[in-house]
């Protein structure tokens, strides 16, 4: 079986399991999605969704956000971890959105990635989920699964992103990113995972990975 044939069959499984792909981070607009994704770094979506209602009640747009102090933002988002860094990033990027983009979240990678706390993965999520631009947001979880399934030999998320974009149709990238995340949580977690019981790993898993469980 070629890698492309394997990718096609994995896509079929994922689409059968997850025909709907709701965005797991609660948000109201592109700005609140940007902030929520930033907060999700090294934090679960569940915890972010418990924190953001308090933050967005006070500020769901950059103009209201800069009326808060960094310390006020930090106090609200503390449960998400890395609050000193994240609170300053949220405050500073809100100023940038107002000063450079007329208060609107920019719809391109260059301007998004120029903002503090916004890397390529965060920008990809915003571009795909807020603006519908095809993007494949590869984080460490998707990187791990793509390696387990033998879809990439990449040593980093950048190489994995390139490999996955070559294997899957462009029009599927936005939903596929979420389908892989949902699958990983339900069937293919980082720890305590037996690939022999996994709907994808058991059929298409990397041989060297499966051998350790046989």
Reported pTM: 0.91
Instruction: Check residue 214 and give its pLDDT.
Output: 58
pLDDT in tens, the chain (214 residues): 899 999 999 999 999 999 999 999 999 999 999 999 999 999 999 999 999 999 999 999 999 999 999 999 999 999 999 999 999 999 999 999 999 999 999 999 999 999 999 999 999 999 999 999 999 989 888 999 999 999 998 788 999 999 999 999 999 999 999 999 999 999 999 888 888 899 999 999 888 777 666 5
Instruction: Check residue 1 and give its pLDDT.
Output: 84
Domains and CATH numbers, the chain: 22-142+154-191 (1.10.340.30)
Instruction: Check residue 118 and give its pLDDT.
Output: 97
Q: Any catalytic annotation for residue 110?
A: no
Q: Any catalytic annotation for residue 26?
A: no
The residue annotated as part of the active site, out of 121, 163, 165, 203, is 121
For residues 41 and 51, the answer to whether their CB atoms sit within 8 Å is no
The residue annotated as part of the active site, out of 139, 159, 197, 211, is 139
For residues 168 and 177, the answer to whether their CB atoms sit within 8 Å is no
C-alpha atoms less than 13 angstroms from C-alpha of 107 in its C-beta half-sphere: 10
Q: Angle between the 70-77 and 45-58 helix axes, to the nearest 10 degrees?
A: 140
């Amino acid at each position: 079986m070629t890698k492309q044939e394997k990718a096609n069959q994995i896509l079929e499984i994922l689409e059968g399991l997850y025909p709907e792909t709701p965005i797991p981070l609660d948000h109201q607009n592109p700005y609140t999605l940007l902030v929520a994704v930033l907060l999700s770094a090294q934090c679960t979506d569940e915890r972010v969704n418990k924190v953001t209602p308090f933050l967005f009640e006070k500020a769901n747009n950059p103009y209201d956000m800069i009326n808060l102090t960094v310390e006020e933002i930090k106090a609200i988002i503390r449960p998400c971890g890395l609050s000193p860094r994240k609170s300053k990033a949220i405050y500073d990027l809100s100023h940038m959105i107002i000063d450079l983009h007329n208060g609107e979240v920019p719809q391109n990678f260059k301007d998004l990635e120029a903002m503090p706390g916004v890397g390529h993965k965060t920008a990809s999520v915003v571009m795909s989920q807020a603006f519908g631009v095809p993007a494949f947001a590869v984080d460490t979880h998707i990187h791990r699964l793509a390696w387990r399934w033998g879809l990439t030999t990449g040593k980093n998320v950048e190489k994995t992103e390139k490999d996955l974009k070559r294997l899957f149709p462009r029009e599927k990238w936005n939903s596929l990113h979420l389908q892989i995340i949902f699958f990983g949580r339900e069937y293919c977690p980082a720890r305590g995972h037996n690939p022999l019981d996994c709907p994808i790993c058991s059929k298409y898993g990397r041989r060297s990975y499966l051998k350790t469980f046989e």
